[in-house]
Structure 1
Amino acid sequence: MSCFQGLFLCPEAVSLLLHNFCIYHISPPGHEFGAAPVCSNDPSPSVEDLADQILEVLNFFSLEAVMCMGITAGAYILSLFAIKHKERVLGLILISPLCKAPSWSEWFYYKVVSNLLYYYGMSGLLKDIFLQRYFSKEARGSSEVPERDVVHECRRLLGERHGSSLMRFLEAVNRRHDLTDGLKSLKCRTLIFVGDQSPFHSETLHMVTALDRKYSALVEVQACGSMVTEEQPHAMLIPMEFFFMGFGLYRPGRVSDSPRSPLSPSCISPELLSPESLGLKLKPIKTRVPTKC
């Protein structure tokens, strides 16, 4: 959920998203808030398993076709789910998505990170490695300029992750396969954002060439890393509004004088900002029965 706080908590996005949609958040197993360490005897899931769990969540809540939003590896899993279950996906909003199998250099990177996690846990070095893949150089700061608050908060949240759960997720991502052929048959509308400083910029451009141009659009955000939702969430608002209007899903309010967007209402109902509305009291559901240790 920390990947989306910057987007969902900025006022204009609240009026756009919470006025018009019911939002469900899916975390990989062991990554939800308050999760216990994953049992070492549990088999490590594959990206196929993670995509299948999305179907279980939709069926659990009796959801038919949905709009999906994901970042980097999450965007890959949602794209895989859309390829496997085209009838359940209305559209995709992908941020710095992965779509190809890992290169040798990326495979080696994940192996090094997994070994560091195993032997040293979430050390300061590992946090820096992850933050380089998430944020632009400007956001991370330097010896003269302090890192931005959003980077500082992400650094804190990384310290709360269980190393064993993160290792399992990295293993799944490192075993992913190429989605290029499947993307060619994907007909749902797709909106893609990528920061020009994202390590996944070239892979995102490859994904755009694989998708049908009639159904997809690319927004490149300047001076931004992979997590556009955190670093420059306002850059996403107007493209998302027009994207939703194409589905007839967006219902603008009567007042439309927002300084950032010509479409979003500037007046937000206070109850939409309550913890209950933001899902902070929702209990996670389990899509797999864990094996007893």
Structure 2
Amino acid sequence: MPSVDDLADQVAEILDFFGIDSVMCMGVTAGAYILTLFATRYRDRVIGLILVSPLCRAPSWTEWLYNKVLSNLLYFYGLCGLFKDYLLQRYFSKDLLGNLQIPESDIVQACKFLLEEKRSTNVLRFFQSINGRHDITARLKYLRCKTLIFVGENSPFHSESLHMISKLDRRCSALVEVQACGSLVTEEQPHAMLIPMEYFLMGYGLYRPCQFNGSPRSPLSPFCISPELLSPESMGLKLKPIKTRISLQV
């Protein structure tokens, strides 16, 4: 079973395979933890982090025990309906999960369908790896990149995000809390991410072109990024700690 450090090193191996020197990373929950760990281990290779409901501490005793129960359930019964229900409770708000009166949302049903396509052994390995994660709070002070964090106020990892933002340099980090939303802000309320991400990317000299002029060029091309925008002195100009409350629109 790979450790979380092994998973972070695999990110570097993938970049090496494709000949990529540096990247801007985006991850959700456990993926956000792996990418943050990667950014602390390979600081020169990450120019920015966009994290959704990230983790940064070791599992609490309650989470560790809960994960053990889910791991045993997955080991003996595979990707059964009960395991999917427990797992999705971590990601979505109660409004989307449904109840006896309200049916499940299309997003939840789609996630269940995607889980059925996964091999239970691989899911179990990943689950066990994340349950064995260690606290990386002390490493956060070594991050050199700008960091933008999204978290839903109903996410079980809400306190993790608050803890993480409190340990990051406020000159180069921001927290966006989304009301009436679970962990997967990317799925429940992606519109709440648009404006913060636009301002975040503007700090790198990126912009939304009105029309294509000739052949399109990658927005992350070095020609579009001014070197002085990556200096520590400039990190706090556009990006300040913010908190947004966005009501759920039906």
TM-score range, shorter chain: 0.7 to 0.9
Counterpart contact for 1:187–1:212, Cα < 8 Å: no
What is the CA deviation profile of residues 170-227 of structure 1, one whole-angstrom value per residue up to 9, with x for unaligned ones?
A: 1111111101000022121000000011010001100000111111000001111111
Measured after TM superposition, the shift of residue 144 of structure 1 is: 1.1
Deviations 1:123-173 (A, max 9, x none): 111111011001001111111111111111011111222111011101111
CA deviations over 1:60-89 (Å, ceiling 9, x no partner): 111111100000010000000000010000
Partner residue in 2 for 1:226: 183
1:37-56 equivalences in 2 (<5 Å): 44-56=1-13
* 2:208 aligned partner, one-letter code: P
Q: 2:21 aligns with which of 58, 64, 74?
A: 64
Q: 2:199 matched to 1:242?
A: yes
Q: Which residue of 2 aligns with 1:131?
A: 88
Q: Does the alignment pair 1:168 with 2:125?
A: yes
More helix per residue: 1 or 2? 2
Distance apart, 1:247 and its partner CA = 0.7
One-letter amino acid of the structure 1 residue matched with residue 21 of structure 2: E
Q: Is 2:65 the partner of 1:93?
A: no
Helix, strand or coil: the match of 2:147?
strand
**SS in structure 2 of the partner of residue 135 of structure 1:** coil
| 3-state SS, counterpart of residue 166 of structure 1 | helix
* Cα distance in 2, alignment partners of residues 158 and 221 from structure 1: 26
Report whether the alignment pairs 1:142 with 2:99: yes
Identity percentage of aligned residues: 62
Measure the CA separation in 2 of the matches of 1:76 and 1:127.
22
The aligned residue for residue 254 of structure 1 is 210
Q: Partner amino acid for 1:115?
A: N
The 8 Å contact of residues 196 and 225 in structure 1, kept in 2 or not, is answered as: yes
- Residue 108 of structure 1 corresponds to 65
Distance in 2 of aligned mates of 1:122 and 1:54: 27
What letter matches 1:179 in structure 2? I
State how far apart, in whole Å, the 1-side matches of 2:167 and 2:2 are: 27
Q: Distance in 2 between matches of 1:101 and 1:211?
A: 17
Normalised by the length of structure 2, the TM-score is: 0.83
Consecutive unaligned residues in structure 1, runs of 5 or more: 1-43, 256-264, 266-293
SS in 1 for 2:209: coil
- Residues 83-122 of structure 1, C-alpha deviations (whole Å, 9 max, x = no match): 0010000000000000000111111111111100111111
Counterpart code for 2:122: S
Task: Tell me: higher relative CO, structure 1 or 2? Use CA pairs within 8 A at least 6 residues apart.
Answer: 1
| Displacement after TM superposition at 1:254 (Å) | 2.0
Is the 8 Å Cα contact of residues 201 and 207 (structure 2) preserved in structure 1? no
Q: How many angstroms apart in 2 are the aligned matches of 1:66 and 1:199?
A: 29
Amino acid at match of 1:251: Y
Letter aligned with residue 253 of structure 1: P
Indicate the SS of the match to 1:219. strand
Write the letter of the residue equivalent to 1:63.
Answer: I
Question: 2:145 aligns to what?
Answer: 188
Aligned to 2:139, the other structure's residue is in SS state: helix
TM-score of the pair, normalised by structure 1? 0.71
Paired residues in the alignment total 212
CA distance in 2, matches of 1:96, 1:174: 16
Counterpart-to-counterpart distance in 1, 2:143 and 2:207: 27
